[in-house]
Structure 1
């Protein structure tokens, strides 16, 4: 029996969805797909919102250019990670005193810090070999070369392990030779240090004590107030910019340039080891590269800023700069040999670090002196007044 055309049309209608119902189903599926896409994308948004936060402290007052260097490093890390890792840097004293930084980072009270190793001299005298003394004539950049390629990094790790410091250390920022210091009157001979109340830090404490000074190790922010109250007759800190900002020209008008007590210091950026070990490899790589980028940037910024402030101290603050007498510089070298011999007598790590530096310096210094020009000759040629009062 044949089915009617009308019956066939009804069956076809049931078998084939109409355009309205098709659109409805497609809309539903589209929404479901969008919902799935949103669910997949959501963790990515959440990851960006939960960035790793690290709290650092420097050992410097907020107004000092050294604290600016610490902020520069943090900004480089923050920028390069796109905000996934954010370092906040507080000034000295915000959480712990300047000399308490290593302990605070090691215990995890702070996630990291920016300072100098000389402030930790009391925990192991070998620490100060990176920052104090003539280092066999090397400048700070050479010391950083020894640290990275000559075995210094491995020795520092060994040293920190020996004192139970739970830290990962990075060295950065080669400093120029530091002045002998600020005084009430020029230092003309070694005997002028006899009985002088003087501020320094690290192994320079032993050096100046042997020269007859009564040494007091103070953090940067406390030096000028102590000089103002007469608790110090003289003090050294670091450079023209820091010294000007910290107020040295307000308490002294005499600054002696050149010294071997801290001729090759650099900064230390430290991380709590537990915190650092928990970071992904990408973040560790960014930190390592940010350290080196900061080192280069700091050395360039220092040349620009220190030279400007060196002029300003003379023209606006009436500071008189004098060269430290060669007789005193030679005495520093002689006494330094005695200091390190005494320190190394019962400290195998001290002897190991010093021997490593000596071996590196012997070849690096010879290459440097044989290769590079006498810069003073060129400076005198172009800028010293010629007969008749004219410059070249």
Structure 2
């Protein structure tokens, strides 16, 4: 039977010395790694009520940035009105009252008419994804920077999130001809204000969260906002049962993520790259979420809330185009940069829309083939 042998004092000293030597060598070979992490926090505000899916999109973007930076950059998003009114976002971000925000360019219409060209109007037939293509690859980004510089806006802008064509709006009765809009107290924003005024409506520009209450109190006869999910959550079906689908007043629009430029420029290059790529990731995710949610809410309003959807008559759509041309011709004469933006859009649209129409099959045929007997499209007014 083997006995345990206790180490001698000299052996103990050797073992202890060897261990200490190993620890010292390890310390020399491997640098100390600090677990402390510097966190940059930014306070954002959206231009949407907290219950609106648009505010959800703003939160989705912030979460992507927060996750991709591993928490080193933390964006907190507040709803409209938490710090400033929805239409005051640009000024608040530019001054640094807010670090950033989420909205649409048409809300800055009061600062520069030209800014609304990224959302108001027919876009020469482009859908919102094409408009974003023009912005990124056709010169739009540089033109937007030019506009912001001209009004002294200290902001870094990222456009993302293509929106479907927006409805003509919610009315007391179907619109059958352009003359039906005359005298109607109507809500819209951007260049659409000029277009609907040109069609005879009495326009009042209101933020999204104020529209339904204004209709309920009789301050508005009709209004447009954006999409099935937002319109449903804001309560449009409670004050109107008639929605006119398809319109050129906001045929192509997208969201804007905005940073105070001074604060954005101070960020490390890695964080700037993450923000830019997070915006593009959020753009794709928003597009897919929109298809899922908007279609569900559209069917819910049709089948459970008694809303009747009508296709806007072609005569009304043509009138919109005619009036829009008159509006932008006048504004082009007043502003060289307005004219420059229109020319750039038109040049890009001429080839992009032609390619799109010639390339993609008409979906109505396939839809009717599979579902036409059970799912009727929006009615004609």
Do they superpose with TM above 0.5?
Answer: yes
Which runs of structure 2 are paired with 1:327-346 in the superposition (5 Å)? 327-346=315-334
The 2-side partners of 1:372 and 1:230 are apart by 44
Q: After TM superposition, give the deviation of residue 18 of structure 1 in Å.
A: 3.7
Q: After TM superposition, give the deviation of residue 40 of structure 1 in Å.
A: 2.9
Which residue does the alignment assign to 2:359?
371
Report the secondary structure of 1:93's partner residue: coil
1:77 to 65, 71, 88: 65
Which residue does the alignment assign to 2:251?
263
Which residue does the alignment assign to 1:8?
none
Which residue does the alignment assign to 1:390?
none
1:94 to 74, 82, 85: 82
Report the secondary structure of 2:244's partner residue: strand
Q: After TM superposition, give the deviation of residue 164 of structure 1 in Å.
A: 0.6
The 2-side partners of 1:170 and 1:125 are apart by 19
**Rg: which structure is higher?**
1
Which residue does the alignment assign to 2:378?
none
Higher mean alpha-carbon deviation, 78-87 vs 268-277, is at 78-87
Deviations 1:42-89 (A, max 9, x none): xx322x2x2111111100000000011111111111111111111111
1:287 to 275, 279, 293: 275
Deviations 1:4-44 (A, max 9, x none): xxxxxxxxxxxxx9445445555666777788899932xx3
Deviations 1:221-268 (A, max 9, x none): 000000000000000000000000000001111100011000001000
Which residue does the alignment assign to 2:379?
none
Q: After TM superposition, give the deviation of residue 344 of structure 1 in Å.
A: 0.9
Which runs of structure 2 are paired with 1:205-284 in the superposition (5 Å)? 205-284=193-272
Structure 1 residue runs of 4+, over 6 Å off?
Answer: 30-39
Q: How many residues align?
A: 366
Which residue does the alignment assign to 2:35?
45
Deviations 1:144-172 (A, max 9, x none): 00000000001111111111111110011
TM-score where L is the length of structure 1: 0.90
2:50 to 59, 62, 67: 62
CA RMSD of aligned residues (A): 1.8
The 1-side partners of 2:60 and 2:359 are apart by 33
Which residue does the alignment assign to 1:9?
none
Instruction: Give structure 2 stretches of 5+ with no counterpart.
Output: 1-8, 375-381
Q: Does 1:175 align with 2:167?
A: no
Which residue does the alignment assign to 1:119?
107
The 1-side partners of 2:138 and 2:248 are apart by 22
Report the secondary structure of 2:61's partner residue: helix
2:139 to 146, 151, 154: 151
Report the secondary structure of 2:334's partner residue: coil
The 2-side partners of 1:255 and 1:330 are apart by 19
The 2-side partners of 1:128 and 1:359 are apart by 18
Instruction: Give structure 1 stretches of 5+ with no counterpart.
Output: 1-16, 387-392
TM-score where L is the length of structure 2: 0.92
The 1-side partners of 2:27 and 2:225 are apart by 62
Q: After TM superposition, give the deviation of residue 370 of structure 1 in Å.
A: 1.0
The 1-side partners of 2:72 and 2:110 are apart by 37
Deviations 1:287-345 (A, max 9, x none): 11111111111111111111110010011110011111111110000000000001111
Which residue does the alignment assign to 1:134?
122
Q: After TM superposition, give the deviation of residue 280 of structure 1 in Å.
A: 1.2
CA 1:378–1:27 in structure 2 vs 1: closer, same or farther (change >3 Å)?
A: closer
Which residue does the alignment assign to 2:341?
353
The 1-side partners of 2:133 and 2:29 are apart by 51
Deviations 1:74-115 (A, max 9, x none): 111111111111111111111111111111111111111110
The 2-side partners of 1:247 and 1:127 are apart by 29
The 2-side partners of 1:82 and 1:92 are apart by 27
Q: Does 1:296 align with 2:288?
A: no
Report the secondary structure of 1:358's partner residue: helix
The 2-side partners of 1:136 and 1:27 are apart by 77
Report the secondary structure of 1:122's partner residue: coil
